């Protein structure tokens, strides 16, 4: 009899790194009775950012009197004209911040400048930026702007679950996105597409528990959502955070690297907060997108290819000289494979 082959996707980039660091892939069964394979998903916000979103941030950073602020991971992602780090080297004022509140404080301290926050992230991060925008409005800070490149994970999960290109048997669901969203939105993916889904924590033992529960569901032909990270995730999530997010942003179509445009998978500012939108405040000409030759990031994000299948991996593409975002981000699959093998 042919051995059951189970393919699980870890959706979150933080899981990708934790799995690589702990060497979990090497521990998984690979026998005649059972083979379990783990593939990485689209949960690294830097990696799924579209090329034009990166190019827009680079162009805005070159405008006079702009201070560009962003999370550290974004600095080295190559755009057509170079990365934000390159622009900093050439004289643009680009600063790494830990929180969007730090960017707001920079705006407060530099009223003559225009402070732009390059916003990326999933449901874990976007409510923090929504709260910062509410604070900016309350304090009447008018020189703070946000580039809204936020993504919603569920439309992407549905796209992957329904895709014929990659046959995923179950999802290791992102623990910290779920702190905000709760477990209910996963029900649709689990039921409609028959994909067992387990919300998992980030310690080695959490991940092993998550994998065990997925294998059990697959064995028993069950398709349900389980929370294996109960110390942090509640079924109802964090309703306050979701309310704040929904008051500032609304869903919009968004382009993902590798996945293309997914309906209602991004966030744009609601009319009341449009003055904080950097896209409308700074009209920039974005260079025409050209696919980076040989770069397989688009396929890696979908779990179709492993970083090792990419021709550039460890050759022209290294953490010192990254070609694609999956090698730049500390959570990218290529960076994880490079560092931990």
Q: What are the residues binding other proteins (CB under 8 A)?
A: 12-14, 43-46, 71, 73, 98-102, 120-122, 124-125, 127-128, 130-131, 134-135, 174-177, 179-180, 201, 203-206, 230-234, 238, 240-241, 244, 329, 331
12 or 312: whose CB is closer to other proteins? 12
Minimum CB separation from other proteins for residue 9, in Å? 16
3 or 184: whose CB is closer to other proteins? 184
Contacts of 26 (CB under 8 A, 6+ apart): none
Minimum CB separation from other proteins for residue 69, in Å? 12
Minimum CB separation from other proteins for residue 71, in Å? 7
| Integer angstrom CA distances of residue 98 from 69, 73, 103, 106, 312 | 10, 11, 9, 12, 31
11 or 312: whose CB is closer to other proteins? 11
Query: Can you spell out the DSSP letters for 245-275?
Result: HHHHEEEEEEEETTTEEEEEEEEEE-GGGGG
User: Is the separation of the CB atoms in 146 and 249 below 8 Å?
Assistant: no
Distance (Å, rounded) from C-alpha 156 to C-alpha 263?
9
103 or 215: whose CB is closer to other proteins? 103
229 or 313: whose CB is closer to other proteins? 229
SS3 120: strand
Minimum CB separation from other proteins for residue 290, in Å? 26
Q: Strand 144-150 and strand 197-200: pairing?
A: unpaired
Minimum CB separation from other proteins for residue 63, in Å? 25
Minimum CB separation from other proteins for residue 132, in Å? 8
3-state SS, 139-188, equals CCCCCEEEEEEEECHHHHHHHHHHCCCCCCCEEEEEHHHHHHHCCCCHHH
Distance (Å, rounded) from C-alpha 100 to C-alpha 102?
5
83 or 100: whose CB is closer to other proteins? 100
105 or 110: whose CB is closer to other proteins? 105
Minimum CB separation from other proteins for residue 82, in Å? 22
| Tokens standing for residue 27 | 């521990």
């Amino acid at each position: 009899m042919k051995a059951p082959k189970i393919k699980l996707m870890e959706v979150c980039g933080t899981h990708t790194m934790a799995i690589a660091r702990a060497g979990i892939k090497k521990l998984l069964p690979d026998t005649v009775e059972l083979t379990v394979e783990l593939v990485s998903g689209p949960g690294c916000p830097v990696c799924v950012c579209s090329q034009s979103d990166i190019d827009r941030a680079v162009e805005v950073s070159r405008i006079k009197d702009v201070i560009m602020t962003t999370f550290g991971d974004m600095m080295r992602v190559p755009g057509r004209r170079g990365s934000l780090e390159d622009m900093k080297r050439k004289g643009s004022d680009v600063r790494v911040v830990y929180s969007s509140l730090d960017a707001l404080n920079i705006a407060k301290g530099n009223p003559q400048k225009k402070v732009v926050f390059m916003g990326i992230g999933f449901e874990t991060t976007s409510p923090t930026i929504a709260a910062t925008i509410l604070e900016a409005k309350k304090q009447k800070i008018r020189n703070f702007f946000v580039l809204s490149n936020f993504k919603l994970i569920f439309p992407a999960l549905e796209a992957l679950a329904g895709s014929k290109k990659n046959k995923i048997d179950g999802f290791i669901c992102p623990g910290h996105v779920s702190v905000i969203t709760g477990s209910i939105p996963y029900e649709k993916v689990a039921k409609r597409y028959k994909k067992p889904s387990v919300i998992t924590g980030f310690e080695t033992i959490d991940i092993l528990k998550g994998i065990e529960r997925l294998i059990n569901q697959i064995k028993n032909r069950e398709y349900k959502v389980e929370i294996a990270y109960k110390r942090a995730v509640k079924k109802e999530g964090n309703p306050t955070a979701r309310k704040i997010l929904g008051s500032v942003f609304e869903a919009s179509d968004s382009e993902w690297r590798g996945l293309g445009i997914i309906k209602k998978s991004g966030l744009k500012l609601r009319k009341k907060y449009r003055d904080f939108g950097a896209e409308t405040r700074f009209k920039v000409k974005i260079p025409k997108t050209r696919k980076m030759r040989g770069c397989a990031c688009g396929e890696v994000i979908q779990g179709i290819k492993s970083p090792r299948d990419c021709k550039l991996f460890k050759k022209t593409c290294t953490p010192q000289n990254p070609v694609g975002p999956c090698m730049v981000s500390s959570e990218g699959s290529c960076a994880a494979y490079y560092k931990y093998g």
